[in-house]
Amino acid sequence: ANFSEQVVESLPSDMSTGIYYGWACVGNGDVHKMVVSIGWNPFYKNIKKSVETHIIHTFKDDFYGEILSIVITGYIRPEKNFDSVEALISAIQEDIEEAKRQLDLPEHLKLKEDNFFHLPGGKMVNNH
């Protein structure tokens, strides 16, 4: 799930690029573990910075047009280039496993229940 350019441009300018982990919620649904890549994805030679969220959950339907809320709780590694798609896939799998381990720790697990994910009347904030 990718965030819009507007969201990417609103990130703090001093936020390091790289791979982070945390919690994600689609619409008013359940909160799931996630990994998020923030940067230019050198393997694909992106010219625009992106924020790409991988929710560690299998959804039965797509969720295009839904509000995606995330809380970043930790940092895994800086972004880097890879020699092959296989090496990239392997790194992504390692990132997912590291996120799962970290998010099971009490200090991260408690953020899953944060009020951020339970806004009254749905996810509308400032009419967005």
66 is catalytic: no
Beta bridge partners of 77: 19
Please give the mean pLDDT across all residues of the chain.
88
Instruction: Reply yes or no on whether the pLDDT at 1 is more than 90.
Output: no
Summarised one tens digit per residue, pLDDT across range 82-91 is: 999 999 999 9
The reported pTM is 0.86
Nearest to 2 by CA among 29, 40, 37, 42: 37
Instruction: Reply yes or no on whether the pLDDT at 127 is more than 50.
Output: no
Nearest to 34 by CA among 4, 63, 76: 76
Catalytic residue among 9, 52, 79, 98: 52
- d(C-alpha 123, C-alpha 94), whole Å: 32
Summarised one tens digit per residue, pLDDT across range 60-101 is: 888 888 889 999 999 999 999 899 999 999 999 999 999 999
Question: What domains does the chain contain, in order, with CATH numbers?
Answer: 5-117 (2.40.30.30)
| Neighbouring C-alpha atoms within 13 Å toward the C-beta of 70 | 24
Please give the DSSP secondary-structure letter assigned to residue 124.
-
What's the CA dihedral at 19, 82, 43, 40 to 10 degrees?
Answer: 30
Q: Say how many residues make up the chain.
A: 128
